[in-house]
Every structure is written in structure tokens, then in C-alpha cells.
């Protein structure tokens, strides 16, 4: 049977990781793969996570099935964390899912059940996985203007003009915070306008919330999501615990439905659970139990928040150091945007020839579209990196 298949294209990020691993130069720098790294270049297990795991190990009594919606305490804790009291919970439903990706997947499937072949509008550019997840769910993907390659900020007027033309059948995918790949984000005032547009047009907001706490803070990063929810009748949210809890390989996320009322929420949730049952039946528990344990325990939660604050402060410091070094060396403000961006990524807007040159000549690895992971910047070699950027661009 397999003779009918042709080889699928490989994943570009995984290929780049392979190239980096095979590069023998000790001075190589990995700004490619999208995971947080500490000063040692390690993606650490957070101390709050280790403590939660010890507690779980000591107190766990069963490994029986959880149920299709997953860990209930986790679901309630995630809703508190992400939505707080922005919306009446009677019309909100949640199902734990494997990572942000699994959450996006089951929610896209739900959209396709509600409106087969609906159009999902994604930002130009967006996280490359959004397209296949939507298309493999039967949906049509179109883009709305987002990144301004001249200013490396958001083309907000054009974005809003595009959103204003949408209608009730359209789905608008928004990055809740820390836009991937650009690092350029909406201000609170812009979120207010996006929320007003969505309320006016009736387009369905679908918020990808993969980096809560990585931008300006847990509360600050939730602003856009909460604002939108406070004014629209229906919404979808895909939450990920991969980055902010450092639980990448545990595959923990959540699919959240906001419906017009409790009755419609129950119907939509029944479809969502039916989709999950027919796919992987039930989500894995370990990551969810870790998050539940942390969020329900005041001490562990305080420790987690302190660790998250530390990671965020490190990323902001690295942004500031790199843009300051480039400014000093080049006498130009062209790269100040790196300090203005938030989250783990910045899209530098360099041509692919420069990206390739940096890799070949300096051993500096980044994604082909010139997205860098700021957590990969070695703090003691910021000057070397600034020199490499400036000489590659000559």
C-alpha cells in the first residue's frame, strides 16, 4: 500500500537542529529552535515543577483513566489563570489536550463540524504549524496583514481594516501574546480596537495562548484575551503549558470554548469530547497534574511565578543588550525593535542570503525567515553576535 505515497517534506526547524548538532565549531550559536534556554544553554526543569512531581509521586494512588476532558482540577486552574473573571463561566467549557498543538487541532476540528470548510484568517506571517492544522481539519486558510517589514512592528491599520471586512462565518486566529514568529505585539489600546471590531462583525476569535507570562507578565499578557472575551458572544482559546511551565515533552494544553449561553456551551463541548474520543480518547495526565499541583498550592505557585518572572526578565535583558550593542557599533537605531519586541522571538527581517551567511561564516543558526530565539543569545557573547549581524549585512 505504501507505494502510493511520496515522501512528505521534512520539518525545517528539525533539519536546522540537526545541522546545528553536526556543526563542530565550539563558537556556534543556536538561535533556532523555539524552547527557552538558561545561561548554560539548557532548557531546565523548573524547580516548582520538580517539587510538584515529588508530591505527585508521593501522593499518587491510581493511574486509572481520567475521562475525555482530562484533569478537572487542571481545567479549573487554567481557566482561573488565563481568563480570571473576564467572563461568566457558565458559558465556558474546557478540555485538556496534548499541548497547544493538540488543543488547536481539536478546536479546528470543532470549527469544521460547526461550519465545514470555514475560512480561518491567520496573521501574515504566523507560526507555520497553524496552516497544516487548519487545512488538515478541512478549513481554508487566508491571511490578514500583520508584520510591517519596514518598522518590524504591527501594520495595525491594515490589520484592523482587514478584520473589519469579516463576517460571522469567519474565524480569526490571534496570538494572545508574544507573537510567533515576529515578536511584534498589539498594545492594549489596539486589542481594544480588535475586540470592538470582532464584536461588530461577528467573526469568531480563536486565540492561541502559547506564551502566557513570557511577554510582560501573567496579568499583562492576558489582557488581549480577556478584553476580547468580555465583548464577544463566542470564542475559542488554545492554551499551552509547554513554555510557561517548561513542560514541552509532557504535552499539556487545553481547548477552551466560549459559547453564547450554557446550553450552547454544553452542545459544543459534547462535540469537542466526541472529537477527542475519536482521536486519542483521553489526554495524558502527568503535565496537567503538575500544573494543577502548582497552581493550587500557594507556595509552589509563588515559586513558579518567581521562576517565570526570572525567565521573562532574562529574555528582556538579552533583547536590550543585543539591540544596545548593535546601536553602539552601527550608530543606528535600526535594530532597536529587538528591545521593543516581546516573547521568545524576533523576526529580524533579514534576507535569506544573510541568514545563510551567518550560519556558514559565523555558526549563527536561525530559522530561514530570520526568526531568532532571544533565549538562545549567549549573554557573554552579545558583542560577537552584534559584530556577526553587522558584518553579514554589509
Ligand X SMILES: Cc1ncc(COP(=O)(O)O)c(C=O)c1O
Which lies closer to ligand X via its Cβ, residue 173 or residue 326? 173
Could you tell me if 311 and 340 are in contact, meaning their C-beta atoms sit under 8 angstroms apart? Answer: no
Instruction: Please provide the DSSP assignment of 369-382 as one string.
Output: T-EEEGGGS-GGGH
Does residue 224 belong to the site contacting ligand X (CB under 6 A)?
A: no
Q: Which of 127, 146 has the CB closer to ligand X?
A: 127
Q: CA 390, CA 366: separation in Å to the nearest integer?
A: 15
Q: How far is the CB of 259 from ligand X (least distance, A)?
A: 23
Identity of the residue, 177 or 257, whose beta carbon is nearer to ligand X in the bound complex: 177
Does position 208 bind ligand X by CB under 6 A? yes
Task: Closer to ligand X by CB, 180 or 225: give it.
Answer: 180
Residue 296 corresponds to which cell in the numbers above?
493550587
Quick one: which of 86, 69, 137, 129 has its CA closest to 109? 137
Out of 78, 111, 210, 256, point to the residue binding ligand X (CB under 6 A).
210
Residue 369 CB, shortest distance to ligand X, in Å, is 14
Number of residues that bind ligand X (CB under 6 A): 13
- What mask, x for binding ligand X by CB under 6 A, covers residues 139 to 178? ------------------------------------x---
Instruction: Find the shortest distance in angstroms from Cβ 382 to ligand X.
Output: 24
* Cα first-last separation, the chain: 53
Provide the minimum distance between the beta carbon of 35 and ligand X in the complex, in angstroms, as a whole number.
8
72-91: which residues touch ligand X (CB under 6 A)? none
**CA of 249: how far to CAs of 99, 104, 246, in Å?**
9, 17, 9
242 binds ligand X (CB under 6 A): yes
32 binds ligand X (CB under 6 A): no
Q: If binding is defined by CB under 6 A, does position 240 make contact with ligand X?
A: yes
Side-chain half-sphere exposure of 385, counting CA atoms within 13 A: 24
Q: Which is nearer to ligand X, 214 or 389 (CB)?
A: 214
- C-alpha cell at position 209: 495562548
Taking the C-alpha atoms of residue 154 and residue 156, their distance in angstroms, rounded to an integer, is 5
Which amino acids are annotated catalytic?
127, 208, 210, 243
349 binds ligand X (CB under 6 A): no
Contact (Cβ atoms closer than 8 angstroms) between residue 271 and residue 110: yes
Please state the closest distance from residue 120 (CB atom) to ligand X, in A: 14
Residue 213 near ligand X by CB under 6 A: no
Among 34, 176, 213, 349, binds ligand X (CB under 6 A): 34
Q: Which is nearer to ligand X, 210 or 377 (CB)?
A: 210
| Residues contacting 205, CB < 8 A, separation 6+ | 172, 174, 198, 228, 232, 235, 236
Distance CA(325)–CA(350), nearest Å, equals 18
Member of 100, 205, 287, 376 binding ligand X (CB under 6 A): 100
Cβ(164)–Cβ(194) below 8 Å: no
Q: Which of 183, 205, 246, 253 binds ligand X (CB under 6 A)?
A: 253
Closest CA to 215 of 241, 177, 253: 177
- Window of 8-16, 96-104, 110-118, 144-152 that interacts with ligand X by CB under 6 A: 96-104
Four-residue CA torsion sign, 124, 257, 79, 63: negative
Residues near 116 by Cβ (< 8 Å), separated by ≥ 6?
138
Asked if 127 interacts with ligand X (CB under 6 A), we say: yes
Q: Which of 109, 112, 137, 180 binds ligand X (CB under 6 A)?
A: 180
| Residues forming a β-bridge with 124 | 145
Part of the chain binding ligand X (CB under 6 A), chosen from 37-45, 98-106, 270-278, 304-312: 98-106
Whole-angstrom Cα distance, residue 227 to residue 178? 16
How many whole angstroms separate alpha carbon 123 and alpha carbon 156? 11
* The one segment of 12-20, 61-69, 94-102, 215-223 that binds ligand X by CB under 6 A: 94-102
97 vs 388 by CB, closer to ligand X:
97
Beta strands (DSSP E) in 28-126 are: 29-30, 92-97, 119-124
The footprint of ligand X (CB under 6 A) covers: 34, 99-101, 127, 175, 180, 208, 210, 240, 242, 248, 253
Amino acid at each position: 500500500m505504501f507505494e502510493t505515497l511520496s515522501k512528505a517534506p521534512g520539518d525545517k526547524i528539525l533539519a536546522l537542529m540537526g545541522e546545528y548538532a553536526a556543526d563542530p565549531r565550539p563558537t556556534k550559536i543556536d538561535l533556532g529552535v523555539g524552547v527557552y534556554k538558561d545561561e548554560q544553554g539548557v532548557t531546565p526543569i523548573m524547580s516548582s515543577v520538580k517539587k510538584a512531581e515529588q508530591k505527585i509521586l508521593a501522593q499518587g494512588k491510581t493511574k486509572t483513566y481520567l475521562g475525555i476532558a482530562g484533569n478537572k482540577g487542571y481545567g479549573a486552574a487554567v481557566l482561573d489563570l488565563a481568563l480570571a473573571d473576564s467572563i461568566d463561566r457558565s458559558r465556558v467549557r474546557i478540555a485538556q489536550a496534548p499541548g497547544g498543538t493538540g488543543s488547536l487541532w481539536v478546536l479546528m476540528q470543532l470549527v469544521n463540524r460547526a461550519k465545514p470548510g470555514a475560512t480561518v484568517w491567520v496573521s501574515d506571517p504566523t507560526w507555520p504549524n497553524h496552516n497544516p492544522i487548519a487545512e488538515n481539519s478541512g478549513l481554508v486558510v487566508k491571511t490578514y496583514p500583520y508584520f510591517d517589514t519596514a518598522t518590524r512592528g504591527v501594520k495595525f491599520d491594515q490589520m484592523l481594516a482587514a478584520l473589519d471586512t469579516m463576517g460571522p462565518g469567519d474565524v480569526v486566529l490571534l496570538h494572545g501574546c508574544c507573537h510567533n514568529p515576529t515578536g511584534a505585539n498589539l498594545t492594549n489600546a489596539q486589542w481594544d480596537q480588535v475586540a470592538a471590531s470582532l464584536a461588530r462583525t461577528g467573526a469568531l476569535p480563536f486565540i492561541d495562548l502559547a506564551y502566557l507570562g513570557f511577554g510582560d507578565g501573567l496579568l499583562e499578557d492576558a489582557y488581549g484575551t480577556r478584553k476580547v472575551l468580555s465583548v464577544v458572544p463566542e470564542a475559542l482559546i488554545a492554551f499551552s503549558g509547554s513554555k510557561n511551565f517548561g513542560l514541552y515533552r509532557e504535552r499539556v494544553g487545553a481547548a477552551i470554548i466560549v459559547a453564547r449561553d450554557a446550553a450552547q456551551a454544553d452542545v459544543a463541548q459534547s462535540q469537542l469530547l466526541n472529537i477527542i474520543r475519536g482521536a486519542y480518547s483521553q489526554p495524558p495526565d502527568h503535565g496537567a497534574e503538575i500544573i494543577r499541583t502548582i497552581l493550587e498550592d500557594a507556595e509552589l505557585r509563588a515559586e513558579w511565578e518567581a521562576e517565570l518572572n526570572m525567565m521573562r526578565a532574562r529574555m528582556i535583558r538579552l533583547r536590550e543588550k543585543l539591540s544596545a550593542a548593535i546601536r553602539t557599533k552601527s550608530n543606528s537605531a535600526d535594530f532597536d525593535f529587538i528591545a521593543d519586541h516581546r516573547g521568545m522571538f524576533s523576526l529580524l527581517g533579514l534576507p535569506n542570503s544573510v541568514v545563510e551567511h551567518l550560519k556558514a561564516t559565523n555558526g549563527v543558526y536561525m530559522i530561514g525567515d530570520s526568526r531568532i530565539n532571544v533565549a538562545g543569545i549567549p549573554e557573554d557573547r552579545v558583542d560577537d553576535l552584534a559584530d556577526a549581524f553587522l558584518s553579514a549585512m554589509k
